[in-house]
Amino acid sequence: MKRSILWFRGKDLRLADHEGVQRALNSDQVIPVFVLDSYFFEPERAQELPHRMQYLLESLRELEQTIAACGSELIVLSGRSIDVIPKLAERWHVDEVIAQGWTEAFGRQRDQIIASRLKCDLTLVTGETLIMPGTIRTQTGSSYSVFTPFWKRFLAQAEINAPLPLPNALPPLPQGVRGTGERIPELSDLGITKNPDLIAAGVTPAWERLHTFLNGPAARYSSARNRPDKEGTSRLGPDLKFGTLSARQVYAEASRAELKAQTGAFRRQIIWREFAHDLMWNHPELLREPFRKKFIGFPWTGTEDHWQAWVHGMTGYPIVDAASRQLLATGFIPNRARMITASFLTKHLLIDYRRGEAHFMKWLTDGDWIQNNFGWQWSAGCGCDAQPYFRVFNPILQGKKFDPTGAYVRQWVPEIRDLPKRFVHTPWMAEKSLFDDDYPDPIVDHAAARARFLTHAKSYLSGS
Ligand SMILES: Cc1cc2nc3c(=O)[nH]c(=O)nc-3n(C[C@H](O)[C@H](O)[C@H](O)COP(=O)(O)OP(=O)(O)OC[C@H]3O[C@@H](n4cnc5c(N)ncnc54)[C@H](O)[C@@H]3O)c2cc1C
């Protein structure tokens, strides 16, 4: 008689294509568990990630129902997982704890602690990425730090298995376990107000998003993905982050023969996600420090006033302000606008990328330690395969090129909604009477800020 704990932990909120679920099917008895870690009993921590919390709790509720439909029950318990899991395993006389492995160092350390405290096996399955991070290697066995060769090697070498099916039923719970869990908290229990403008959470909406994308915008993805004014991308970020869809399910759907020609650029982005995970696997220190070691100790001398202006979308540059406001309102920013605003914060305002990174982690629904860190280091010029530090995005030209009619900035910066097209990215050049005078003049002059950054960076990097 084999008894297992099937431990779901926030990056794998589904039953289909879950290696752990498949493994659990070999046990006679299985106890599905979710641990409400400190975020749930320290509401002030939960309030630090209101949008992700909303997505997580809604998806967890759906998972609970799916597990119930399979004849089992999700046992939800609160406490620190490093304490709770070993205690439960002992109390329930479990032979194996099964969970999906995490890439980040803090997840790996947590699992080492748990493994050392367990009196049974901890089996970590893959599933966060298409293939196990750390397995794509150069001919000489080292890891990659440039995307294109990684991508080529990935296409040549990676064996991506077909997604696993949804089980019809789960093995029974042992006697006495049913009904011993807690209820999943409501957002209001955590002092968080539901944001109605967030994307719908859970497996069902995630599949709908995937199919809507593949049946429409996917065909125009390579050009539209750079256009914040178009709904041109999949919006699957939170689904991939919380694992309501696996990367393998997304990749397989996008690779179906009739779609293949249209989805090459999209699948390439999924492999960027693999690259970011691979990099973090090989360089766990990246959550603390830049990839380019010359940037350790870089003097980010920006001011608090500028930080506040950036956070609240009041820099006077419409495309930067649109991104900041869209983030707070909806938990999402299109990739191009993320790059522009991150570049502006770090280079025009000389504010530490880690501050921007933390702000994005607070508000993005797809806020992901690995991809967010990767995006910020890329934008600041201190990352791996990054935008060179001396390439400073011009927020006016970026706006004109990627939001040519100003539809994006008009939506998020209503003060300038009625400006003629030629002024919509440069409102300070228009008659004041043409727009709401609450909208500020630029807090920095683009040319002067660019020159300041370049001088500052050159002088620091040549001396360090
Ligand atoms: C400063 C900055 C911060 C970012 N923070 C995050 C984050 O916290 N979480 C996150 O998932 N992505 C992040 N990205 C990458 C990218 O912006 C988002 O993945 C994308 O905008 C999400 O929208 P989508 O799902 O519609 O993407 P799509 O274009 O439809 O892409 C599909 C999926 O591919 C992956 N992907 C796409 N672009 C990238 C990329 N450049 N790098 C890595 N993976 C990619 C994502 O998982 C994405 O959901 C960040 C980028 C920057 C520049």
Q: Evaluate: CB of 368 within 6 angstroms of ligand 1.
A: yes
Closest residue CA from atom 23 of ligand 1: 235
The Å distance, Cα 158 to ligand 1 centre, comes to 21
Q: Between residues 173 and 43, which one has the greater pLDDT?
A: 173
Q: Mark residue 348 as left, alpha or beta (left: phi above 0; alpha: psi -120 to 50; beta: remaining).
A: alpha
Q: Evaluate: CB of 270 within 6 angstroms of ligand 1.
A: yes
Q: Cβ(120)–Cβ(89) under 8 Å?
A: yes
Starting from the edge strand earliest in sequence, which strands make up the sheet with 96-100, in order?
75-78, 29-36, 3-8, 96-100, 121-125
Confidence (pLDDT) at 200: 97
What are the domain boundaries of the chain?
Answer: 3-128, 131-161+202-282, 293-463
Average pLDDT, the chain: 96
Closest residue CA from atom 5 of ligand 1: 372
Report domain 293-463's class: mainly alpha
Q: Evaluate: CB of 339 within 6 angstroms of ligand 1.
A: yes
Q: Evaluate: CB of 364 within 6 angstroms of ligand 1.
A: yes
pLDDT tier for residue 464 given thresholds of 50, 70 and 90:
low
Q: Which residues of 389-425 are buried (b: 16+ CB within 10 A; e: fewer)?
A: beebbbbbebbbebbeebebbbebbebbeebeeebbb
Work out the average pLDDT over 310-333.
98
pLDDT of residue 241 exceeding 70 = yes
Q: What are phi and psi of 305, to 5 degrees?
A: -60, -45
The Å distance, Cα 335 to ligand 1 centre, comes to 6
Q: Evaluate: CB of 245 within 6 angstroms of ligand 1.
A: no
Please, how many CA atoms are within 13 Å of residue 27, restricted to the half-sphere of its CB?
24
Q: Evaluate: CB of 240 within 6 angstroms of ligand 1.
A: yes
Closest residue CA from atom 16 of ligand 1: 335
Confidence (pLDDT) at 195: 98
Between CA 199 and CA 235 the distance in angstroms is 9
pLDDT of residue 324 exceeding 80 = yes
pLDDT tens for each residue of 201-213: 999 999 999 999 9
Between CA 7 and CA 94 the distance in angstroms is 12
Q: Evaluate: CB of 31 within 6 angstroms of ligand 1.
A: no
Report domain 131-161+202-282's class: mainly alpha
Q: Evaluate: CB of 222 within 6 angstroms of ligand 1.
A: no
Between CA 23 and CA 13 the distance in angstroms is 16
The Å distance, Cα 238 to ligand 1 centre, comes to 10
Confidence (pLDDT) at 259: 85
The Å distance, Cα 101 to ligand 1 centre, comes to 21
Confidence (pLDDT) at 411: 98
pLDDT tens for each residue of 306-320: 999 999 999 999 999
The Å distance, Cα 168 to ligand 1 centre, comes to 33
The answer to which of 214-228, 347-361, 380-394 has the lowest mean pLDDT is 380-394
pLDDT of residue 386 exceeding 80 = no
- Mutate which of 273, 320, 326, 387 for ligand 1? The one with the most ligand atoms within 8 Å of its CB, which is 273
The Å distance, Cα 237 to ligand 1 centre, comes to 6
pLDDT tier for residue 63 given thresholds of 50, 70 and 90:
very high
**Residue 217: what residue type?**
P
Work out the average pLDDT over 424-445.
94
pLDDT of residue 387 exceeding 80 = no
Q: Evaluate: CB of 340 within 6 angstroms of ligand 1.
A: no
Work out the average pLDDT over 401-409.
98
The Å distance, Cα 276 to ligand 1 centre, comes to 10
pLDDT tens for each residue of 73-103: 999 999 999 999 999 999 999 999 999 999 9
Instruction: Give the bridge partners for 34, in sequence order.
Output: 8, 76
Kindly state the percentage of the chain with pLDDT values over 70: 100
Confidence (pLDDT) at 260: 83
The Å distance, Cα 419 to ligand 1 centre, comes to 31
Confidence (pLDDT) at 257: 81
Work out the average pLDDT over 246-256.
96
CATH topology of domain 3-128: Rossmann fold (3.40.50)
